[in-house]
């Protein structure tokens, strides 16, 4: 074995102590004998908190999701809670999704919390991530945990941590918790539960959450408009089946067709290659059903119901998949129109999006006299904005990766409320003789036609992580000077926290937390961003191009021109 492998072998041997159960020890011995490559992947690093918490493949080892890595994280979090709130009875709420082992891992987390004297509210069965975020505030908890790997493949699971405001863990608490975890040994984990401190919860929280989703997502569609709207919904074998059908029903929508083959929660996701609504193939069965029932809208959600994919009828009466930027633009414009009509825009309102989402949202916000605050990728940063600016009113916000948040009653991506909002947009547009698709084109005419494209390169394991690191280093050492014939005029380096004017060479600090992201902007307003994923073994290339759109009649021609620009950028990137 190489030196690296010997180091990993020594690390793995520490898991052969009595601290770890017999099943774990036997699995490690087997990998030592038969699967050294698997052992290396399992132990070459520790799982880390990324943009969506801690996420990884399930299995034995420090680089895997298992009772010990989650137990250690929960022990560290317990220690921090008791330090942060020394004179309070700390409380935590725990939810889990449909993934394999989520229920048993949630019980491990509950046991460790209770063993440390922390009162626990544990959902009796799988629940959506937005309901967990809501429950933190509703139950006056100090923190919340949801066991989920979002849209990752079936072999993954994860651990998202929420703070008192219902938003995910952010500075300064995240670094402090990580410090607590890093200073622990696995022998420090207290696994012996105090059952008196664990309370099962269910319908009593569901009802309040769904009522809140209806109140925030309903925007005035008449009952006739609702009755005349045909909806196809798929949970993609995920958790949203517990909330979205009931939310639509309470809002007055009864013409809902569910993709039955994908109704039952199943962590294997048997009918899709990936349970990710960003992937068109994931919504194939829903689109087929939409054609059969002549649906007006298709909605598909990811396993924990924080992301949603949307399809609507286009000008050819065909179902058209929208990307995350398009859905975000439609929802934000709809909310802003509503706020303006109700005379609620007073100069203290804002929307929010991320550094890799469409720049068009800034144009849209400005047309209403509302600020668009831009943050790092991850809804925890949008939640932090809301917490940091209590003097301002948050209207809504989203990101290109199919997440949206309506108001601040939930402090994370919320596919439950956003589904209702999307349906309301379609229903009201149809009732007025228009369509959501036509509304989108009208936005392009008014604010400029922006089109985005994403390429994700998968780089798995140790070598993949090293390759991604080198790709980012090369991009910094040899920055692009021209993209599709347009000169690069600005480079934003969020790792170095500087923005550089390429023409003058002048630099200015970026007032945003550090992150390993590079963004190139050209003279013609095109943009390319490079970002390693915080939750998957991928490096992502985000492209944005734009052209003026004189009228709706020019849409097809301009759309083709933007596609051609994107194709040239992809060629420039050597892909």
The C-alpha atoms of residue 99 and residue 375 are separated, in whole angstroms, by 30
* Residue 450 contacts residue 527 (beta carbons within 8 Å): no
47-to-158, 172, 274, 323 alpha-carbon distances in Å: 10, 20, 23, 31
Average pLDDT over residues 309-336: 97
Share of the chain above pLDDT 90, in %: 90
Quickly list H helices, 144-273.
173-182, 203-217, 223-227, 244-250
The C-alpha atoms of residue 109 and residue 54 are separated, in whole angstroms, by 14
Q: How many alpha carbons lie under 13 Å from residue 537 in its C-beta half-sphere?
A: 17
pLDDT at 2 over 70: no
Asked which of 87-96, 118-127, 170-179, 318-327 is least confident by mean pLDDT, the reply is 170-179
The C-alpha atoms of residue 487 and residue 478 are separated, in whole angstroms, by 15
* Cis peptide bond upstream of 340, omega within 30: no
Beta bridge mates, 488: 522
Around Cβ 104, how many Cβ atoms within 10 Å? Answer: 11
74-to-91, 115, 127, 191 alpha-carbon distances in Å: 13, 11, 20, 10
Q: What are the two backbone dihedrals, phi and then psi, of residue 544, each rounded to the nearest 5 degrees?
A: -140, 130
Q: What strands, in cross-sheet order, belong to the sheet with 371-375?
A: 371-375, 349-354, 393-399, 403-406
In the residue annotation, 456 being an active-site residue is answered as no
Q: Where on the phi/psi map is residue 158: left (φ > 0), alpha (ψ -120 to 50), or beta? A: beta
Average pLDDT over residues 536-558: 95
Average pLDDT over residues 37-46: 90
* Residue 224 contacts residue 200 (beta carbons within 8 Å): no
Average pLDDT over residues 292-297: 98
Class (C level, CATH) for 45-201? alpha beta
The C-alpha atoms of residue 403 and residue 50 are separated, in whole angstroms, by 17
The CATH number of the domain covering residues in 449-572:
3.30.310
Q: Quickly state the pLDDT bin for 549 (edges 50, 70, 90).
A: very high
Q: Quickly state the pLDDT bin for 4 (edges 50, 70, 90).
A: very low
For 480-526, where are the E strands, in sequence order? Answer: 482-483, 486-493, 498-501, 507-509, 518-522
What is the per-residue pLDDT for 1?
39
Catalytic residue, candidates 42, 78, 133, 150: 150
pLDDT tens-place string over residues 231-263: 999 999 999 999 999 999 999 999 999 999 999
Share of the chain above pLDDT 70, in %: 99
Average pLDDT over residues 326-330: 98
> What is the pTM for the complete model shown?
0.95
What is the location of CATH 3.40.120.10 in the chain?
45-201, 208-447
Q: Quickly state the pLDDT bin for 574 (edges 50, 70, 90).
A: confident
Q: Which 8-state DSSP code applies to residue 554?
A: G
Q: Quickly state the pLDDT bin for 537 (edges 50, 70, 90).
A: confident
3-state SS class at 525: coil
What is the per-residue pLDDT for 531?
95
pLDDT tens-place string over residues 483-506: 989 999 999 999 999 999 999 999
What is the location of CATH 3.30.310 in the chain?
449-572
* Residue 236 contacts residue 300 (beta carbons within 8 Å): yes
* Residue 356 contacts residue 531 (beta carbons within 8 Å): yes
Average pLDDT score, the chain: 95
The C-alpha atoms of residue 427 and residue 435 are separated, in whole angstroms, by 8
pLDDT tens-place string over residues 385-420: 999 999 999 999 999 999 999 999 999 999 999 999
The CATH homologous superfamily to which domain 208-447 belongs is Alpha-D-Glucose-1,6-Bisphosphate, subunit A, domain 3 (3.40.120.10)
What is the per-residue pLDDT for 246?
98
Q: Quickly state the pLDDT bin for 50 (edges 50, 70, 90).
A: low
Average pLDDT over residues 330-356: 97
Quickly list H helices, 153-294.
173-182, 203-217, 223-227, 244-250, 284-293
pLDDT tens-place string over residues 118-154: 999 999 999 999 999 999 999 999 999 999 999 899 9
């Amino acid at each position: 074995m190489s030196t690296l492998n010997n180091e990993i072998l020594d690390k793995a041997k520490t898991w052969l102590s009595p601290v770890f159960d017999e099943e774990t020890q036997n699995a490690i011995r087997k990998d030592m004998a038969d699967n050294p490559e698997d052992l290396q992947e399992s132990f070459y690093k520790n799982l880390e908190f990324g943009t969506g918490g801690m996420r990884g493949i399930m299995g034995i080892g420090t680089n895997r999701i298992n009772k010990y890595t989650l137990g250690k994280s929960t022990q560290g979090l317990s220690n921090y809670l008791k330090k942060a709130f020394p004179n309070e009875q700390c409380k935590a709420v725990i939810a889990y999704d449909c993934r394999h082992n989520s229920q048993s891992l949630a019980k491990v987390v509950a046991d460790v919390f209770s063993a440390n004297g922390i009162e626990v509210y544990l959902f009796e069965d799988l629940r959506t991530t937005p309901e967990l975020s809501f429950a933190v505030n509703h139950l006056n908890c100090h923190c919340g945990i949801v066991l989920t790997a979002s849209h990752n493949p079936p072999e993954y699971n994860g651990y998202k941590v929420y703070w008192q405001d219902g938003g995910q863990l952010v500075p300064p608490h995240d670094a402090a918790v990580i410090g607590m975890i890093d200073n622990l040994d696995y022998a420090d984990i207290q696994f012996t539960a105090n059952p008196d401190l664990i309370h099962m919860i269910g319908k009593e929280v569901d009802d309040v959450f769904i009522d809140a989703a209806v109140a925030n997502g309903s925007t005035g569609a008449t009952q006739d408009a609702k009755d005349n709207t045909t909806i196809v919904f798929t949970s993609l074998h995920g958790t949203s089946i517990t909330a979205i059908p009931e939310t639509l029903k309470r809002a007055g929508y009864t013409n809902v067709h569910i993709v039955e083959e994908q109704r039952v929660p199943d962590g294997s996701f048997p009918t899709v290659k990936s349970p990710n609504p960003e992937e068109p193939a994931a919504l194939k069965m829903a689109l087929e059903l939409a054609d059969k029932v002549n649906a007006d809208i298709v909605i598909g959600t990811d396993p924990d119901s924080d992301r949603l994919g949307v399809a609507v009828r286009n000008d050819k009466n065909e179902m058209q998949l929208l990307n995350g930027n398009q859905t975000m633009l439609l929802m934000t414009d709809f909310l802003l129109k509503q706020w303006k009509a109700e005379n609620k825009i007073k100069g203290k309102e804002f929307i929010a999006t991320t550094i890799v989402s469409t720049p068009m949202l800034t144009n849209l916000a400005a047309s209403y006299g509302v600020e668009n605050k831009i943050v790092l990728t991850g809804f925890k940063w949008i939640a932090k904005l809301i917490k940091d600016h209590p003097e301002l009113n948050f209207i809504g916000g989203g990101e290109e990766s199919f997440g949206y948040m309506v108001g601040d009653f939930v402090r994370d991506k919320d596919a439950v409320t956003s589904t209702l909002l999307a349906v309301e947009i379609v229903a009201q547009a149809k009732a007025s003789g228009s369509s959501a698709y036509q509304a989108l084109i009208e936005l392009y005419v008014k604010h400029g036609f922006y089109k985005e494209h994403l390429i994700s390169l998968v780089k798995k394991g140790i070598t993949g992580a090293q390759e991604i690191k080198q790709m980012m280093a090369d991009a910094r050492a040899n920055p692009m000077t021209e993209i599709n014939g347009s000169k690069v005029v600005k480079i934003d380096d969020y790792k170095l926290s500087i923005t550089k004017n390429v023409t003058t060479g002048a630099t200015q600090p970026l007032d945003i937390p550090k992150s390993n992201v590079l963004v190139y902007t050209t003279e013609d307003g095109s943009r390319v961003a490079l970002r390693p994923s915080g939750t998957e073994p991928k490096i992502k290339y985000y492209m944005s191009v734009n052209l003026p759109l004189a009228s709706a009649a020019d849409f097809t021609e301009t759309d083709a021109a933007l596609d051609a620009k994107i194709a040239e950028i992809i060629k420039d990137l050597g892909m």
